[in-house]
Amino acid sequence: MAFCTQAVILILSVLIVSWCKPSYGAGIAIYWGQNGNEGTLAATCNSGNYQFVNVAFLSAFGNGQTPVLNLAGHCNPSANTCTGLSADIKACQGKGIKVLLSIGGASGAYSLSSADDARQVASYIWNNFLGGQSSSRPLGDAILDGVDFDIEAGSGQFWDDLARALNGFRQQKKVYLAAAPQCPFPDAHLDTAIKTGLFDYVWVQFYNNPPCQYSGNANNLLSAWSQWTTVQANQVFLGLPAAPEAANSGGFIPADVLTSQVLPSVKNSPKYGGVMLWNKQFDNGYSAAIKGSV
């Protein structure tokens, strides 16, 4: 009888934990590619700190431009030296890490002129970075998991068309879509795209935005966070600078403050997916300090 009682208690305990625990695991997303001194992509994934890596940036595309991949000092796409990253990408994916191509950035030369232009850009990305085929794949034969929209310039037009066009390839292979809006809600560039409901991950930039970032207290941040968790996306991430130097206009949260004062509130949302960090160059221990609490 005692054995049966213990067994029932154990089963009930497991059920309670499973009911209370979200059906997904939270993780850390990191941007990699904008500083040649930040270490290799392989080392980034080998750290064990990240579940997502955004390879940044495809900084020029659209409006008839020849697309340009800019990975700072890591390699030179025009000299075909970035194809060596293919092995690193596959190694990351072998660890269960999703590797996405980040398009845009704060200083890129990109724009979309029409819905047809968006479809052409989607086809280029599919054939050169995702599951399609091209004789000029900048990162070699590795197939990235998806695309991150870090759109910080130009208008908000046609990004929804780009999202739909990329999602259109899903019958051949799932294309994960991520967006990195600024924390003022709604985002000036990505609002229409996010409203398509096609984005798996929305990692909101709660930095370089004084009205909605941490500034000695988290009141403004939490107010904005409550708005962002209403968007049509599978998961919403808290985007933060990995060091004070990573965000000239502020938003850095000390690791102990983040884990004790901010994350407990943020994690109350069922859409909470984790933390996004900008960027690998500045992450000298921050992700390691917070990953146990994410």
Provide the residue count of the chain.
294
Catalytic residue among 152, 160, 161, 200: 152
Which residue matches tokens 């000092």?
73
Query: Is there a catalytic annotation at residue 152?
Result: yes
For the chain, the C-alpha Rg in angstroms (whole number) is 20
CB-hemisphere CA count at 13 Å for 157?
11
The DSSP bridge partners found for residue 240 are: 277
Tell me how far apart the alpha carbons of residues 285 and 33 are, in angstroms, rounded to a whole number: 18
Residue 2 neighbours by CB under 8 Å, 6+ apart:
none
Q: How would DSSP label each residue in 147-192? A: EEEEE-SS-SSSHHHHHHHHHGGGGTS--EEEE--BSSSS-TTTHH
Active site members: 152
